[in-house]
């Protein structure tokens, strides 16, 4: 029996299988963070603990290129591909430049050996930070981190550019995790991957910035969004030297990177800097200034990690205040300059200490509706008016079982059998929760976005997808199709090569190798053809199932799967928010008001910053008046 899912498909055993989606992506994202722990058949694989590999790249004179800042020399990534890594695109955002709009890097006189990746931006160590040798949760990185990597075919000239924005909750990760060699070589594109400021070093909103800044950009708090804009300007001005076409740039990103793609689509500062966009498991969430700045108990409550809440914690941790009350009183007495002087005096360790979590990824407000970098309205409101966003062809999609990446390490659902093997306690409940959360992610990231744009007179197509591959190891010891399925981030490997496969033992095996090879070729083909033309069509070799754009009357999207899972196919099995709300109202598992209200808040209030669909009257009609929604959100997320 299907519970909580609006659609289903056959599993490998022929049983009906729930379609799940990442729900509690706000819940315990920090505990997993792409596999700090996942044990299969007694083998624990942890990239964070492994020693960094030796870099053997040697500068190759044939790769010497001239940029506006000076010459760079890269290396041969393969016999057909060149790479240049660790190229600075901005001046170090340190000292007085911390929490200011980025400025271009200074020029250099001697050729720059671009053969070693730049440092990661400050973050807590995790698998997404690469093989650094650091213990999980250890603070690592350098504020001087604004670099980019370029990969291009050896004889590149006038090729499409694919500009990658990494994921990691916008608090962990690095561009160097993603080697663009294979994508560049196979699809004849130039790949650019960037670092950008993370967490509170990249997003911090406070009235003092607005009072003291000389310009709207320094006042915005959206410093990381500005990093991305500056990196795109670097591409516009320099990428032709590497064989790229600055008039054909595709931005693409996954998870938080997908969210950043949506933000760039809405930013007037990014207009004309890119020409197509791909959002993989992104959300359209942005935060009001009240949510970003207020105390959590204000009439318009701020986040638990708002700038005022964090300032109180910083005052206590540095000994300036003894408790919450005295910290609040002292903070309220600060002038704008006193506040700014205090926070700029803090070390990275002091700034991030209150945000430390076991898995590295922490929650803090980001993407502020400042009216300069990002619109003052929600992004869905912006996308409803073609004049208000950067109209370019768009691909947006999610994975079938998004939520399972996070539920897999939730002790409410998964136990360690024999002390080390993860085993789902109640598959029916596990699938039920995952279905709610994963369907909601699809609704918010794909179906509502595509339907909103398609219903307008926008002049550009939108293409939707759902990634369904779930053929990991299934045996007496572990059931990865149940535990993870087509989880969040699994699709990365089919674009970039092994990432999740090197983190999750047993995800890949000889049996699923042919299907993986087929789907990898297909996805790279669709992505590459979209970068060339703005239409994924039938892929770069014109051999794949034609990918049709979303239409308001049918909502058709592409299902990406192997032949064993049904193959590449168009589907009209869309999920809209109204459908989810009706499901919630009639669900017998949510008969108790406390459970029903908690689910409503989790799905529709501040879900990755998306709050368009939270309705106070509807919430009260669900008998939720006794549960203040923001307080409930802090507990459930």
Q: What is the pLDDT of residues 616-636, one digit of tens each?
A: 999 999 999 999 998 887 765
pLDDT, position 360: 87
In this prediction, what percent of the chain has a pLDDT beyond 90? 83
Q: If phi over 0 gives left and psi between -120 and 50 gives alpha, with beta otherwise, what is residue 283?
A: beta
Q: If phi over 0 gives left and psi between -120 and 50 gives alpha, with beta otherwise, what is residue 53?
A: beta
Query: Cα–Cα–Cα angle for 355, 361, 367, nearest 5°?
Result: 85
pLDDT, position 5: 34
Q: Is 625 within 8 Å of 617 (Cβ atoms)?
A: no
d(CA 108, CA 298): 50
Q: What number is the average pLDDT over the span 493-504?
A: 93
Q: Which run of H or of E encompasses 190? A: strand 190-194
d(CA 174, CA 147): 10
Q: Is 114 within 8 Å of 72 (Cβ atoms)?
A: yes
pLDDT, position 130: 62
Torsion of CA 314, 318, 319, 321, to 10 degrees: -10
Phi, psi of 210 (to 5 degrees): -70, -35
How far from 27 is each of 286, 409, 607, 608, CA to CA, in Å? 18, 11, 10, 11
Q: What number is the average pLDDT over the span 368-391?
A: 98
d(CA 547, CA 249): 21
How far from 315 is each of 215, 309, 320, CA to CA, in Å? 28, 10, 5
d(CA 276, CA 287): 25
pTM, full prediction: 0.92
Phi, psi of 394 (to 5 degrees): -130, 135
Confidence category of residue 585, pLDDT binned at 50, 70, 90: very high
Any idea how long the chain is? 637
Q: Is 303 within 8 Å of 313 (Cβ atoms)?
A: no
d(CA 583, CA 19): 15
Burial 318-341 (b: 16+ CB within 10 A, else e): eeebeeeeebbebbeeeeeeebbe
- What are 536-546's pLDDT values in tens digits? 999 999 999 99
d(CA 84, CA 191): 11
d(CA 369, CA 220): 9
d(CA 574, CA 462): 14
- What are 33-57's pLDDT values in tens digits? 333 334 333 233 333 333 444 457 8
Task: Tell me which residue of 430, 381, 393 sits closest to 409, measured CA to CA.
Answer: 430
Exposed, middle or buried, 347 (CB in 10 Å: 0-12/13-18/19+)? exposed
């Amino acid at each position: 029996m299907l519970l909580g899912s609006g659609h289903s498909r056959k599993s490998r055993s022929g049983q009906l299988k729930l379609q799940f989606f990442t729900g509690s992506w706000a819940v315990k994202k920090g505990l997993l963070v792409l596999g700090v722990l996942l044990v299969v058949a007694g083998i624990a694989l942890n990239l964070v603990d492994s020693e960094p590999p030796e870099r053997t790249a040697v500068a190759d004179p044939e790769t010497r290129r001239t940029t506006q800042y000076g010459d760079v020399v890269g290396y041969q990534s393969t016999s057909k591909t060149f790479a240049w890594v660790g190229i600075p695109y901005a001046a170090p955002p340190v000292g007085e430049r911390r929490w200011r709009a980025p400025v271009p890097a200074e020029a250099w006189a001697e050729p720059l050996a671009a053969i070693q990746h730049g440092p990661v931006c400050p973050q807590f160590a995790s698998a997404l930070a690469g093989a650094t040798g650091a213990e999980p949760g250890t603070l690592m990185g350098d504020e001087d981190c604004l670099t980019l990597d370029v990969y291009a075919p050896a004889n590149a000239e006038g090729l499409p550019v694919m500009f990658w924005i990494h994921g990691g909750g916008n608090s962990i990760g690095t561009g160097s995790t993603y080697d663009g060699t294979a994508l560049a070589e196979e699809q004849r594109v130039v790949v650019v991957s960037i670092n950008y400021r993370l967490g509170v070093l990249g997003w911090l909103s406070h009235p003092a910035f607005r009072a003291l800044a000389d310009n709207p950009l320094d006042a915005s708090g959206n410093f990381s969004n500005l990093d991305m804009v500056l990196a795109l300007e670097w591409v516009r001005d320099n990428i032709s030297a590497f064989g790229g076409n600055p008039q054909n740039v595709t931005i693409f990103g996954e998870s938080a990177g997908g969210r950043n793609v949506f933000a760039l689509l809405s930013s007037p500062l990014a207009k004309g800097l890119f020409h197509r966009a791909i959002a993989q498991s992104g959300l359209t969430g942005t935060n009001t200034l009240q949510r970003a700045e207020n105390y959590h108990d204000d009439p318009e409550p701020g986040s638990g990690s708002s700038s005022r809440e964090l300032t109180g914690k910083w005052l206590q941790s540095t000994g300036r205040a003894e408790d919450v009350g005295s910290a609040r009183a002292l903070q309220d007495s600060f002038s704008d300059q006193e506040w700014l002087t205090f926070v700029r005096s803090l070390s990275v360790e002091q700034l991030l200490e209150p945000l430390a979590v076991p898995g590295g990824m922490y929650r803090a407000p980001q993407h502020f509706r400042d009216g300069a970098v990002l619109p003052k309205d929600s992004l869905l409101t912006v996308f409803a008016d073609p004049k208000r966003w950067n109209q370019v062809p768009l691909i947006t999609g999610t994975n079938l079982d998004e939520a399972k990446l996070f539920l897999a390490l939730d002790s409410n659902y998964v136990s360690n059998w024999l002390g080390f093997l993860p085993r789902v306690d109640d598959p029916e409940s596990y699938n039920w929760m995952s279905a709610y959360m994963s369907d909601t992610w699809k609704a918010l990231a794909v179906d509502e976005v595509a339907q909103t744009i398609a219903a307008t007179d926008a002049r550009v197509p939108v293409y939707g997808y759902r990634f369904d591959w779930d053929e990991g190891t299934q045996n007496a010891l572990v059931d990865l199709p149940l535990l993870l399925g087509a989880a969040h981030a699994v699709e990365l490997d089919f674009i970039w090569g092994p990432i999740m496969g090197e983190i999750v033992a047993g995800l890949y095996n000889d049996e699923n190798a042919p299907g993986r090879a087929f789907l990898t070729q297909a996805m790279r083909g669709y992505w590459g053809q979209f970068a060339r033309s703005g239409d994924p069509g039938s892929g770069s070799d014109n051999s794949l199932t034609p990918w049709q754009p979303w239409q308001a009357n049918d909502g058709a999207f592409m299902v990406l799967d192997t032949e064993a899972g049904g193959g590449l196919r168009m589907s009209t099995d869309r999920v809209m928010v109204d459908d989810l709300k009706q499901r919630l109202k009639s669900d017998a598992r949510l008969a108790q008001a406390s459970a029903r209200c908690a689910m409503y808040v989790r799905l529709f209030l501040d879900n990755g910053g998306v709050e368009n669909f939270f309705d106070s009257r509807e919430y009260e009609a669900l008998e939720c008046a006794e549960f203040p929604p923001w307080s409930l959100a802090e507990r459930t997320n």
